[in-house]
Chain A
Amino acid sequence: MNRQRLCPIVLLALLCLAALAGCSLLGATHLNWHELWQSEIFWHLRLPRELLSLLVGGVLAACGTAYQAVFRNPLTDPYLLGVSSGASLGAAIAILLGLESYIYGVGLCALASALLTVAIIYRMASTGNRLHTTTLLLTGVCLTLLISAAVSFLMVMNHDKMDRIIFWTMGSFASSNWTDIVVMTPVTLIGLSILLYHGRNLNLLLSGSDTARSMGVEVERVQKTILAITSVMVAFAVSVCGVIGFVGLIVPHAVRLVAGADNRKILPLAVLSGGLFMLLCDTLARTLFQPSELPVGSLTALLGAPLFITLLYRNRKQY
């Protein structure tokens, strides 16, 4: 990797580290540098939470980048194939059944339900070995709407637990712990390695499936691999922190505006930018209105939208 490509990656990585350290000092209990290393709050609450937000932000941004290349559509986001609605349904059922008191009761239900939903959508959009991406998109959108309706129905029928379901669907890192990190780290590392391995294939897929195939890409195999791995990554992310919108849709575009179209360049930058953005949003979510917390999903949109519109406005000639 040449220096020109490595520089922004190193710079962003350093920024992430600096943000990680800086954000650790903030919160209901203010810590200073000397207290930080001995503080239980830092080791057991803030550090796992911050690391998880970095991981989830990175995963969502990377998956959004990959989806936009596979579908050749700038409007696709990682929740397109029903992961968010599937997970929400699983979480709602778990909350209604009172599984919140069990460790990972809600998370496991959300993960299982998300993966099941994606599997159903894949099955419906496949004939033999062929995957029809348009059918996949439309099935994803329809099933998402159907499941969202079912979740709304469950909430209306169970008023007393509505606020907990709503809070879960808007995403939060409040209950993060080291086990979440242990679960998310291998998923993130394996998933990102596979996506980076396919970086050049993603570029070729952007040129159209005919061009990609005639230049040596096994188009359907690559599409299936990428969609399967990203679905698993996003399902895991949703299971640990709920549905956090906007990051997977906008961060890849913001990076593309600055770094060009090459997915081999964009992927690492999107991972770091997505992680950094999520970390900053979560820090604001937990510190702005102490002691209560904002749902981080609403902050990602509130902060991300103006930021992205500014970028878009400054680069409007290119877009």
Chain B
Amino acid sequence: MLALQNLSHTYGSKTVLSHLSTTLEAGGFYAVMGMNGCGKTTLLRCCAGLLQPTEGQVLLHNRPLSDYPARKQAQHMAYLGQQPPADFEFTAYDLVMMARNPYQRPLQGATQKDRTIVEQALRKTHTWHLRHALPKEMSGGEQRRVMLARTLAQQTPLMLLDEPLANLDLSHQFEIMELLRDINLHEGKTILMALHHIEIARRYCPQLILLHEGRILFQGNTLEGLSPARIHTVFGINATLEANGTLTLSPNKRN
């Protein structure tokens, strides 16, 4: 579905991604993991066409992403960034309705189908009760769930999610992951998400892309990829894998 070919990106003199090549299969559920600053967001932004790679290219269905008009691309992939919603006075409902833009003609209003999809997205993320609320009246976690509802309402086969669990309490983290797994399994959507929670990745994301110093250190099965040795290499923390499959993490003692 999505292929990265020799992808590199630099900010000034700092190379963030260096010659990445990989393919995302349709229907996959991929976790992108790595330390802060390892290039997770840069990778997602390149995949979403928001950043032009310094070198290499991204192919969507074997066509360079840059060949797609924005509207067409937005019917193929949705992107959830880390930024909070707009400061201006849009309600949660209006914000989620914006996701229907790729399917609406310029002067066309929302159709009944759009309204149904928006309501479903808000209900799935448990934010229907917030539909009349402005972002400034919501907590960080509620804003995040509304933004996720917006990504769902875009109804694309590929979803790129940059830390969708940020600011969410434990209960909502699991609820959102259950929802994403459900969408992946039953609607066949491909999901590529950056996240930090090793336990959640092991539990919900079958595939892993582990980034380290701008390169892919591992790509494949998550349970295999998140071995104690790799966790130590990437995150600098100790991990012990119990016989029953439980992973115990403990911080390195600093002098």
Structural contact, A216 and B106, CB atoms closer than 8 A:
no
Structural contact, B75 and A216, CB atoms closer than 8 A:
yes
B74: CB under 8 A from chain A?
Answer: yes
A208: CB under 8 A from chain B?
Answer: yes
Q: Cβ of A219: which chain B residues have Cβ within 8 Å of it?
A: 70
- Residue ID in chain A nearest B77 by CB atoms: A214
* A262 CB → nearest B CB, Å: 7
A197: CB under 8 A from chain B?
Answer: yes
Stretch of B55-63, B88-96, B224-232 lying at the A interface: B88-96
Q: How distant is the Cα of A71 from the Cα of B88 in the complex, in angstroms?
A: 13
Given contacts A196-B107, A203-B90, A261-B90, contact A213 B49 (CB under 8 A): yes
Q: Cβ of B17: which chain A residues have Cβ within 8 Å of it?
A: none
Structural contact, A207 and B79, CB atoms closer than 8 A:
no
Interface hits, B192-208 → A, CB 8 Å: none
Structural contact, A207 and B85, CB atoms closer than 8 A:
yes
Given contacts A200-B106, A260-B89, contact A215 B83 (CB under 8 A): no
Q: Cβ of A210: which chain B residues have Cβ within 8 Å of it?
A: 45, 48, 50, 79, 81, 83
B6: CB under 8 A from chain A?
Answer: no
A188-230 near B? 1/0 per residue, CB < 8 Å:
0000000011111101101110110111111100000000000
Q: Cβ of A261: which chain B residues have Cβ within 8 Å of it?
A: 86, 88-90, 94
Structural contact, B101 and A217, CB atoms closer than 8 A:
yes
Structural contact, A207 and B98, CB atoms closer than 8 A:
yes
Q: How distant is the Cα of A203 from the Cα of B70 in the complex, in angstroms?
A: 16
- Residue ID in chain A nearest B84 by CB atoms: A208
A161: CB under 8 A from chain B?
Answer: no
Out of B99, B106, B107, name the residue touching A215 (CB < 8 Å). B99
In this complex, how many residues of chain A approach chain B with their Cβ under 8 Å: the count is: 28
Given contacts A215-B101, A215-B154, contact A206 B86 (CB under 8 A): yes
A175: CB under 8 A from chain B?
Answer: no
* B173 CB → nearest A CB, Å: 23
Q: How distant is the Cα of A30 from the Cα of B139 in the complex, in angstroms?
A: 60
Out of A201, A204, A214, A256, name the residue touching B50 (CB < 8 Å). A214
A134: CB under 8 A from chain B?
Answer: no
- Residue ID in chain A nearest B99 by CB atoms: A215
Q: How distant is the Cα of A148 from the Cα of B107 in the complex, in angstroms?
A: 40
Structural contact, A211 and B89, CB atoms closer than 8 A:
no
Out of A2, A199, A207, A216, name the residue touching B86 (CB < 8 Å). A207
Q: How distant is the Cα of A204 from the Cα of B79 in the complex, in angstroms?
A: 14
Structural contact, B69 and A218, CB atoms closer than 8 A:
yes
A29: CB under 8 A from chain B?
Answer: no
Structural contact, A206 and B106, CB atoms closer than 8 A:
no
Q: How distant is the Cα of A194 from the Cα of B74 in the complex, in angstroms?
A: 23
Q: How distant is the Cα of A200 from the Cα of B104 in the complex, in angstroms?
A: 10
Q: Cβ of B85: which chain A residues have Cβ within 8 Å of it?
A: 207
Interface hits, A104-151 → B, CB 8 Å: none
A101: CB under 8 A from chain B?
Answer: no
Structural contact, A197 and B90, CB atoms closer than 8 A:
no
A262-289 near B? 1/0 per residue, CB < 8 Å:
1000000000000000000000000000
B183-196 near A? 1/0 per residue, CB < 8 Å:
00000000000000
Given contacts A213-B70, A214-B78, A216-B74, contact A208 B86 (CB under 8 A): yes
Out of A197, A200, A214, A256, name the residue touching B74 (CB < 8 Å). A214
Structural contact, A216 and B73, CB atoms closer than 8 A:
yes
A318: CB under 8 A from chain B?
Answer: yes
Q: How distant is the Cα of A270 from the Cα of B89 in the complex, in angstroms?
A: 16
* B171 CB → nearest A CB, Å: 27
Structural contact, B49 and A204, CB atoms closer than 8 A:
no
- Residue ID in chain A nearest B100 by CB atoms: A215
Structural contact, B86 and A215, CB atoms closer than 8 A:
no
Given contacts A204-B98, A260-B89, contact A218 B70 (CB under 8 A): yes
- Residue ID in chain A nearest B49 by CB atoms: A213
B123: CB under 8 A from chain A?
Answer: no
Q: What would 5 A/B residue contacts be, using CB atoms closer than 8 Å?
A: A208-B83, A213-B48, A213-B49, A256-B88, A262-B90
